[in-house]
A and B are shown apart, each in its own frame.
Chain A
Amino acid sequence: MIDGKVSIRIDRSSTCDAPHQGRAMVRTFQTFLYLAAIVIPFTASAAHGHDWPFWRGPEQTGMVREKAVVTSWSQQGENILWQVPVGGRTTPIVMNGRVFLIAPVGEGLGLRERVICLDADTGKTLWEYSFNVFDTDVVENRVGWTSVTGDFETGNIYAHGTGGELFCFDRDGKLLWKRSLREEFGRISGYGGRLLNPVIEEDRVMVGFTASGWGDHAKPLMRYGIFDKRTGAVLLWAGPGGPPQDTTYSTTVTAVVDGWRTIIAGNADGVLYGMKARTGETLWSYRLSKLALNTTPVVDGTFVYATHGEENPQGTLMGTVACIDATKRGDITESGTLWRADGIEVGYASPAIANGRVYVVDNSANLFCLDAKGGKEHWRHNLGRVGKGSPVVTSDGIIYVGEQTGTFHILRDAGDKCESLDREEFKRPDEALVEIFGSPAVANGRVYFMTRYATYCLGRKDAQVLKEPIPPFAKERENPAEVATTLQVFPGEVSVVPGEKTQFSARFLDVGTRVVAGDKVEWSLAGVKGQIDSNGLYTAPSEAAFTAGQIVVKSGTLEAKARLRVCPKLPFREDFEGMAADSTPPGWMGVVRKTKIVTRDGSKVLQKLAEDASAPFMRVKAYMSPPVAGGYTMVADMLGTPKGERFRPDMGLINSRYELTLMGTNNVLRLESWTPVPRLRHDVAFEWSTDRWYRMRFEVKLDGDKAHLRGKVWPRDSAEPAQWTIEFVDPFANREGSPGLYAYSPGTTPKSKGPEVFFDNIEVRPNE
């Protein structure tokens, strides 16, 4: 707010309220309005006004600069503008008169995930995009726990799906691009369903995830993928943290802090990082917890408010609410602490900051109101049993918040106490719990939220919405450009096919991450075969072989690297004879430290190791390339060894996100997709022996919306049977996917190795 005055203004158009992403072009008009400070009531219409394009609102703070319109409602109809039977866990977003949701849909074989666009005035579905969930440990009722993110500049919508796809849609639902974070970059979803929302920053879209990728990204780390928001091209990676302690859903936030364009990220290693937004370089780190961070921080000027609900680095009190000085540099755990309230366990719900107060919901659903300066507790209020949803606070101190076991609250911050204005308890005739995990979106006087079974829009027809201007995004430093301190190369990562050319480009940035002129650059290759010319044009080798490494660009002491791998086009065959003993196939996902090339039965084969008892090492999903179009067949030889009487391995192939596996614990051949649910599972009894080579053929044929799946397995030393061993039709085809190998070594212990698997003679080719 300018000069500390609260100004209230009329809404004129949707563009004049654009949050910071498009802030520059509207700043003049806003300034005019601030000065005018006219207080004029405005008739609510979703087609105008303050939108809610990010799950924590336009300022990423959980605050809405409006006076509350809804202070009571009832499930019988009072102040319900519309409700639709779209249930799940997301927090809605609202942009340009539309509401966007991500949610599960269907049951059984039809169980999928979808992004839905509703008319904000009526709740009518304008478009819907459904997609399959695959290769994740996330279970059915945790599907759609992210929120989609809107970009004001382009009008595009970004969604992070449970199966690991990052989607970009235009406002009318046209898919502009997508990336498969799982198959291309080794995203590890975990079981908890905790995934990060995409975040828009200038011309980039960014999403964090724990990953074990190919090559030098094999080491498990929480990485932040930063993509061109228009094309989906990888611009750069940031990976500031240490070993991930868990999966997380601490969505990053963006801010200009003390003149520095910053992204602030709660990491899976328990540390909060401030990074330069354009380079990912770490500005500061703050160790909040021993375990992973799940909540989204809020920024107010140079103050960052962050919470967690696990062990603090010191002491035996769990959880904290911390106020951090983000102008400090380096490890600011000591120097940056302005205040901390240890012992408040805010592990799931993210804080809100409004009117000089910080609002947090602890894990047991107690809402705390703390003073933003000093952290003094003004009051606390019990909402119920389990706190997962985050509060939204209006400029006049009305709080909207859901509680997990099925209550929705409207409260008033009355200074030294909290007043309950409305408490709605959701009940169903079948007594099933109506859980509320998501948080409300509040825009144009309306309150949008989702329960397990429905989405609600609360509001009053013809209500007058009193709004305050959203303060402009803080300015970056304006001192003149300085000497180049960083060299960047684009694209930051790419997969190509043999013979393909890729143009790389380099740019220089100064310490403030502004683009500046630099000297001549030199290009070279590290590890990967092929050629690069003096202008950064790379040409992949023409032979059908895997090769992977880095494109290196240098200028004086500055250096930058891009990751590049070459994966053969279909059809290809890999018998490992061309690979060095003890190496791993270049550019394959998930093979480093889990596999190695060895000689067995007179030929080079790929061995799945069974020496490390930790869960990620007992299992391997070795993806050979990025997703390719469906309609291909895989053939491979495989052999498993036993461990004692109790354990045999599982081994199989992955084709188009379907897995065909010889199960070791019981004698079956299993076809499945999305294992923990499973959406699709079909077993056929099949006796198999350890220490014997088998050959497996797995074909996926696309037929309209359907996929015909067929597989067979036979001892390698006998003739291929004419009959298929297993067949199944999936009515909702996975239409693409990376070819891969699967192996699992149960019974690997810290003291003794587990059952091993060997693969050889892999062929991947288009169906005959």
Chain B
Amino acid sequence: MNEVTMASTVNSARWQARVVHFSLATVFLMVGAVSAEPLEKAKKGDWSMWGGSPDRNMVSGETGIPTVWDAKKKENIHWAAPLGSQSYGNPIIVNGKIFIGTNNGGGFRPNIKGDKGLMLCLEEKTGKMLWQATHDKLPSGRVNDWPEQGICSSPVVEGNRLYYVSNRCELVCADTEGLLDGKNDGPLENETYKESQDGDYIWILDMIEELGVFPHNLATSSPVLAGDTLFVHTSNGVDEGHLNLPAPRAPAFIAVDKKTGKVVWERNDPGEHTLHGQWSSPTYGVIGGRPQVIFAGGDGWCYSFEPKSGELIWKYNLNPKDAKYTLGGKGTKSYIIGTPVIQNDRIFLAVGQDPEHGEGPGHLHAIDGTKTGDVTESAKVWERGGAEFHRTLSTVAVADGLVYASDLSGFLYCLDEKTGKLHWKHDTMAAIWGSPYVVDGKVMLGDEDGKVVVLQHGKEMKVLATNELENSVYTTPVASNGTLYIANRNTLFAIRQKK
């Protein structure tokens, strides 16, 4: 299996043990199509990528995670690490280090001034900043690289390498030690910033220059890794006029050799049907015994490809047939921002739009991933949409036969995994950009008002706590090694039960 291959390439013994453990769990989850996986068996330990595993399921098997905390009174706050002024990236915790994208508002390196995209490396124990990878803003401005939004991509970390997409629409491979280890690992050695607390890039794939990509507003995709191959969205999209696609021949989805940064295959299935941008992230899994990489497109379609060749396995249209896209958000057709989640041979995914375009009708689908061709009709297990589910940026969490999904309008839904039937919904009364997260018998969700609501995991709705983080939470909680991490825009909180 790919996961095992992936693990065997890792150097650190400690890391290796952990990955094998986690990979086996993942494999088990992927092939175990029969019954709902109990939460206790979900992934634990390090959290090495967006979603914690290639299936992207926002579920953790960690225990002892607090329900209540208070940022102001420092109750259950193990540490609080400053970030920039806007942070959309999610923390990745591997081997004693935390990686998180943000902007340069924090001014960690006093000599590096102005608007930049940062990938911060913090010490897991203390939150202390170890090093930062700094990416200048693109000179082309907001249409390609939105001011002050920093790096939104969450890295995937394997061994001593991290892979992420910079604000400059580059796929970056960097050394997890940065330049702190005193070695500038190559082949790339001409980094712009070269002091000890700077990033050490191994290779960079400039998707604008090499692939002709025109990223719309910001390249945000979080890569996924299978064996030696990285998969990532390019964020190719429309120009500042929003209707014209300047680079319809540039790829939307790519597979890249993790060792060299060379493109293995590229696809531009959304092509001229790209509505706005492509801000989703790919998902990898073995479905019906067949390895698949799943990409959600800027055209509202979900695509599955054969990971080695890039050949299409199936595609599925998430928008209704008669849906119409209208610039500015008034229409009924949407693209996909959330990440596909694989559970029990099914893909859970919903459509959404740029929050700037406001709320509107959405569609959440459960898709059978075992079919081939255009499976829009044949693979639909269930759908919830229109007035029942609104546009979303969020990714779902699937646990114990329940699907938790949230929408931009502020609702958290608990649905039956098999039928889509609603068990309950909770109104946070605030815009939701992050995703629900299931851990330790609880489901958590952050909102734009800076609150994190904690509900009981289960078919009965019960609000356990509403915790105030004071500043908008646009990210998703992450549990790792007994600690809960939540980033609001300017602070990463490590939350741990006081003993």
Instruction: Give residues in A with beta carbon < 8 Å to B.
Output: 137, 139-142, 190-193, 245-246, 290-291, 310-312, 315-318, 343, 363-364, 366, 382, 384-386, 404-405, 431, 433, 435, 612-615, 618, 644-647, 665-666, 675-678, 744, 746-747, 749-752
Contact = CB atoms under 8 A, between A and B. Distances in A.
B297 interface: no
Interface residues of B, number: 59
Contact of B328 (A140, A291, A366, A614): A140
Given A191-B240, A431-B387, A615 B143 contact: yes
Interface of B: 82-86, 105-106, 115, 138-144, 147-148, 206, 208-209, 212, 214, 239-250, 272, 326-330, 356, 358-361, 386-387, 409-410, 429-431, 448-449, 470-472, 489-490
B362 to A, nearest CB: 11
Contacts of B86: 311, 318
A191 B106 contact: no
Nearest to B328: A139
Interface residues of chain A: helix, strand, loop or mixed (majority):
loop
A656 B436 CA distance: 52
A263 B111 CA distance: 38
7 contacts: A137-B242, A316-B490, A317-B490, A318-B85, A384-B429, A433-B359, A677-B327
Contacts of A676: 241-243, 327
Interface residues of chain B: helix, strand, loop or mixed (majority):
loop
Contacts of B106: 316
A192 B241 CA distance: 10
B338 to A, nearest CB: 19
Nearest to B142: A246
- The 6 A-B residue pairs with the shortest CB-CB distance in the complex, in nearest-first order: A746-B246, A139-B328, A316-B490, A431-B387, A646-B212, A316-B85
Given A385-B429, A646-B247, 12 more contacts: A137-B242, A139-B328, A291-B147, A317-B471, A317-B490, A318-B85, A385-B431, A618-B140, A646-B250, A678-B243, A746-B239, A750-B208
B209 A385 contact: no
Contacts of A749: 208-209
B242 A191 contact: yes
Given A318-B85, A405-B359, A665-B246, A615 B140 contact: yes
Contacts of A746: 214, 239, 246-247
B148 A675 contact: no
Contacts of B82: 316
A364 B239 contact: no
A386 B329 CA distance: 15
A148 to B, nearest CB: 22
Nearest to A405: B359
B139 A750 contact: yes
B430 A364 contact: yes
Contacts of B430: 364, 385
Contacts of A246: 142, 147
Contact of B247 (A193, A316, A647): A647
A343 B86 CA distance: 12
B212 A644 contact: yes
A435 B356 CA distance: 13
B409 A364 contact: no
A189 to B, nearest CB: 11
A382 B330 contact: no
Given A140-B327, A316-B85, A647-B247, A433 B472 contact: no
Given A364-B449, A676-B243, A141 B328 contact: yes
Contact of A405 (B84, B147, B327, B409): B409
Given A137-B240, A433-B358, A677-B327, A614 B214 contact: no
A268 to B, nearest CB: 12
Residue from the set A137, A193, A385 with the largest chain B CB neighbour count within 10 Å: A385
Contact of B360 (A137, A404, A433, A644): A433
Nearest to A612: B139
A675 B429 contact: no
A191 to B, nearest CB: 6
A382 B429 contact: yes
Nearest to A613: B140
A747 to B, nearest CB: 6
Contacts of B239: 615, 618, 746
Contact of A291 (B143, B148, B410, B490): B148
A657 B359 CA distance: 33
Contacts of B244: 675, 744
B358 A317 contact: no
Contact of A747 (B139, B144, B212, B328): B212
A662 B240 CA distance: 19
A613 B247 CA distance: 14
A631 B124 CA distance: 71
Contacts of B471: 317-318, 343
Residue from the set A137, A386, A612 with the largest chain B CB neighbour count within 10 Å: A386
Residue from the set A141, A245, A316, A317 with the largest chain B CB neighbour count within 10 Å: A316
A290 B471 CA distance: 19
A102 to B, nearest CB: 17
Residue from the set B82, B139, B140, B472 with the largest chain A CB neighbour count within 10 Å: B140
A140 B141 contact: no
Contact of A385 (B326, B327, B409): B409
Contact of A614 (B141, B326, B386): B141
Contact of A317 (B85, B240, B249, B448): B85
Given A614-B140, A644-B212, A139 B327 contact: yes
A269 to B, nearest CB: 12
B243 A141 contact: no
Given A318-B489, A385-B429, A615 B326 contact: no
